[in-house]
Amino acid sequence: MIVGIVSSNTFPPAPVITISPTTLATPTLAVVYSETFTASGGYAPYTWSVTGTLPQGLVLDGSTGILSGTPSAGTSSTVTITATDAGGYQASAAYEIVVDGRTPSFEYLVAGGGAGGGGGGTRSSPTVYMCGGGGGGAGGLLTGTYSFSGIDTATLVFIATVGAGGTAGAGYNGGGYGVASSLVKSGGITVAQAAGGGRGGAPSGPGEWNNGGDGASGGGGTSSSTSRGYGGVASQGYRGNYVGPRGNNTGYSFSGGGGGGAGGIGVDNSSTGGPGVSSSITGTSVTYCSGGNGNLSTAISAGTKTSVPGGGGRGGPSGAYYTGAQYGEAGGDGTVIIRYPDIYDMPSQITGSYDYQNVGGYHVFKFLTAVQSGTSGSISFV
């Protein structure tokens, strides 16, 4: 008798395992991300593993197949994801994961050039008048945030134009006006524009005085007890004031009024310039655009020009007897500043004369070259 032997295969046939999805959504820097891998065609349950280096901040859960986390750097990585089924059979798929490191927005500060202070002098007819020059007004100051929108998908270029400070007044002449600064987006769209400051006034002849000119925050005038310098007129979204400082009558000596600070007025009957505006855009509190001091005829050292961008120049002291050769000071140059957190990529391109610093966790770009016309530089984002 022949006994037949029946053979059986205790191992299941090799399956064809498919991994989904075939492509991944693009992670964005500093934004929570989650993507779930699934497998089919094999024997559940599945476990998951990764070969290669995932972008910083992302992890793969080996039991659920969930890739999640918050990307902390803009990078490009190629990795292989492997699914292993209950029978030990495997399938793998390769993925390129590109973390979008572009900044979603940036902060800006735009300061116009400050005005020059008026010159001082002495007139002897019909009466001796000793006159210090009026302080220059500060440039306008604007701060804000530009946020990239869904339509900002192509390369955007932002052109920075930095206005020069006004020239110093000499003798009986007023100072020069400050020049406007601006930040303009591709297509000629103005993001911010800050006007230059109004000039400081100075005496023009026996018994005559020039008022400070109108501007973003106008200059003070060297004046009699009845004449006055005028502050700036509101324009381009920042505050000014039409009431400016007036010269101080002290016997036969007159001091120039102080120039107005950004968004304000100078001090009436005083040589003190108006205060500037404090901003922390560079990581620390900085005062921008102070008004220039009017210079007392009897105190040549009174008042100094502010050292911060956009400040007005001080007025000149009174001249020696019968002379009028005393100069005011030039106004401070304006500036354009852009900053955003340093976890985001550097700009795709930046041109012109600029300073770069990393301050308080921010990329900070300062365009400082003063120009009478044209551009100081540009910054591009892809």
247 and 291 share a domain?
yes
84 and 227 share a domain?
no
Q: 5 in a domain, yes or no?
A: no
Per residue in 261-301, pLDDT (tens digit) is: 776 655 555 567 777 888 888 888 888 888 888 775 443 33
CA gap 50, 147 in Å, rounded: 36
Q: 315 in a domain, yes or no?
A: yes
CA gap 286, 289 in Å, rounded: 10
Per residue in 186-225, pLDDT (tens digit) is: 888 999 988 888 887 776 554 455 556 655 556 665 544 3
Q: 2 in a domain, yes or no?
A: no
Do 103 and 341 meet the contact criterion of CB atoms below 8 Å apart?
Answer: yes
Do 324 and 171 meet the contact criterion of CB atoms below 8 Å apart?
Answer: yes
Q: What is the extent of the structural domain holding 249? A: 102-382
Q: Report strand pairing: 253-255 vs 129-131.
A: parallel
Q: 110 in a domain, yes or no?
A: yes
CA gap 382, 365 in Å, rounded: 17
Q: 13 in a domain, yes or no?
A: no
74 and 181 share a domain?
no
Residue 338, helix vs strand vs coil: strand
Per residue in 313-337, pLDDT (tens digit) is: 888 777 655 455 678 889 989 999 9
CATH number of residue 81's parent domain? 2.60.40.10
Dihedral, CA atoms, 123, 128, 132, 137, nearest 10 degrees?
-70
- Full-prediction pTM beyond 0.75? yes
Closest by Cα among 97, 99, 100 to 24: 97
233 and 268 share a domain?
yes
Q: 4 in a domain, yes or no?
A: no
94 and 106 share a domain?
no
46 and 124 share a domain?
no
Count of domains in the chain?
2
65 and 32 share a domain?
yes
Of 98, 122, 147, the residue that ends a domain is 98
81 and 117 share a domain?
no
CA gap 185, 110 in Å, rounded: 14
Percentage of the chain beyond pLDDT 70 is 70
CB atoms within 10 A of CB 55: 21
- Encoded tokens for 61: 């859960």
Per residue in 77-126, pLDDT (tens digit) is: 999 999 999 999 999 999 999 998 888 899 999 988 888 888 876 655 55
